[in-house]
Amino acid sequence: MRRQMTRAAWIVAHACALAAGAAAHGQFIGPLPPKGEPEPAPGSGGTPMPSEPPPKDLSSADTEPPAPSIVDKDQTGALRVLERGAEDEALARYAFSAERLGKVQRSLANRRLEIDRFVIQKLDTVLALEGMRERVLNTTEFGPLFEAREHVAAVRFERVLDRLQRDGAISALQRARLDQSVREYEKALRDHFEAQTGGDPTRQAVLNLRQTYLDATREPLESLGRLLTDVQREAATLPTGPGAPLDARQRDALIAAAGKADPNERAASVRAVFDTLSPEQKRAVLSHALARRSGNP
């Protein structure tokens, strides 16, 4: 037996050690509470026992629902790949109390509004990612995937669970349970890709890069769809005269497109007019529509 590990074996062993360490860290919700002095017995001159028990912590491990599984299989036993993000799916399946669910929904609504503003700022990159979607989803080569990867970093936004915990919408324990659901799904997805490719590392890399694109662009492209729906509704409220983002011809064309009776035809017509605008005009139109929707015209 060779006394020295090969470079590949070292990398695998090192990765396994890191994974084991990360798993160990994931077992702890937070620092252990400091050990206190033993409580005096009632009547011994110490603090008397309270007349009523303290309120029970509703986020304790005894009462908090377990992590929901978001791993579903079809009739053949293959993984059903989620159409939305794993964090969103875990949130949708978690058994929140009514009060907690209200906090979650308010935090998510605020986050969606911030993403809409972010997409307007990063509109050129979002449109570029949208334009390469078909190539990325159909390619078996690395070129389009690497091209997409260069754009993806520019549209990364705060994770859903990070935002919810920062807003106090979910507790540390709930966050840990939701993370557990996400990790279970991510492992199932890796196993699914391995089964699909017969363990071929090159084909697995293609599937992983494609999934990275899908995960990173899901929310920005959903946001763009929301904003364009706002444009359909607010086209007639676009300002006119000096300083207006559109000239009279462009504004009239957008209003006519937004007036189509059929929803699909209306969306396609508004998008067709939108695509003829300059980058500055696009951002101005989207900003106007978003301001109207958010009550800040």
Q: For the chain, what are the domain ranges? A: 61-293
Looking at residue 59, its pLDDT comes to 46
Compute the average pLDDT of residues 259-264: 96
Q: What is the mean pLDDT of residues 285-292?
A: 96
231 vs 62, residue with greater confidence: 231
Looking from the CA of 254 toward its CB, the CA atoms found within 13 Å total 30
User: Which one is predicted more confidently, 40 or 239?
Assistant: 239
Residue 171 above 70 pLDDT? yes
Least confident range from 35-44, 242-251, 264-273: namely: 35-44
Least confident of 48-62, 151-165, 177-191, 272-286: 48-62
Mean residue pLDDT of the chain comes to 83
Q: What is the pLDDT of residues 69-127, one digit of tens each?
A: 999 999 999 999 999 999 999 999 999 999 999 999 999 999 999 999 999 999 999 99
- pLDDT, mean of residues 152-169: 95
Q: Phi, psi at residue 99, to the nearest 5°? A: -65, -45
226 has a pLDDT exceeding 70: yes
Closest by CA position to 61, among listed 172, 167, 182:
172
Taking the C-alpha atoms of residue 175 and residue 190, their distance in angstroms, rounded to an integer, is: 22
Distance CA 219, CA 130 (A): 12
Lowest mean pLDDT, pick from 60-69, 92-101, 264-273, 275-284: 60-69
**Contact (Cβ atoms closer than 8 angstroms) between residue 178 and residue 64:** no
Does 212 have pLDDT greater than 80? yes
> Average pLDDT of 17-40?
36
pLDDT of residue 61: 58
Structure tokens of 288?
């106007």
pLDDT at 12 over 90: no
Residue 152: closest CA among 129, 182, 136, 175: 129
